[in-house]
Copies of this chain bind each other. A is one copy, B any other.
Amino acid sequence: MASNKEEVKVFGMVGSPFSTRVEIALKLKGVEYKCENEKFGNLSDTLKNYNPVYKKVPVLVYNDKPISESLVILEYIDETWKQNPILPSDPYQRAMARFWSNFIDDKCMNDVRKACFTFDEKEREKSIEETKEALRFLENELKDKFFGGEDIGFVDIAAVIISFWISPIEEAFGLKLFTSEEFPKLYNWSQEFNNHPIVNEKLPPREILLTFYKGRYEEHFGSK
């Protein structure tokens, strides 16, 4: 079958916050794309060939060239389709956007993971506190409606994992990490962001995430 080189393809997975990031960015840009949904635990050879290093979603393919890693893909999207920029134009503001997006992946998500999967009660409490400290940095960083100002930007898209994924994770693992009392600005932002029509369209059903994370819980701790 002849493939259309100009076609934009996203190899994603239903329920992956990382492929959701890519889809939100493309939608915000108004770029038409085709989504190939990979199956958890049974990735296609095409995906593995496109991302031989990490063998995971998302991969964006454009002009027959594959790009992996969601934040790298977001930068590529912003440089390739210049309408509705997601990164600011000022170099310092761009640096800050990159810093906070990396912070979400390197710090927040690691802390959440530790809070979820630590057996030792005391260690678990410590990880919960560390997660909250990390969220506090984001709470203080939020100056406007969105991290990107009046419009959705790079950090907002990166933070979808906080706006939408933390809640089912909390429910599945029996944790409280992100409450409106402790993080009022971040909580309002998450509502605003999740309800933005483009974001809302690309969010997976919460039920799928809940089932997935309950499965992870049982795998790790055994059935309740």
A residues neighboring B (CB under 8 Å): 52-53, 63, 65, 67-69, 72-73, 75-76, 79-80, 91-92, 94-96, 98-99, 102-103, 107, 137
Contacts and interface: CB of A to CB of B under 8 A. Distances in A.
Contacts of A102: 69, 72
A83 B140 CA distance: 35
Nearest to A62: B92
A160 to B, nearest CB: 20
A76 B53 contact: no
B99 A72 contact: yes
B76 A94 contact: yes
Given A53-B137, A72-B102, A137-B53, A67 B79 contact: no
Please list the 4 inter-chain residue pairs (A to B) with the smallest Cβ-Cβ separation, ordered nearest first: A79-B91, A76-B95, A72-B98, A67-B95
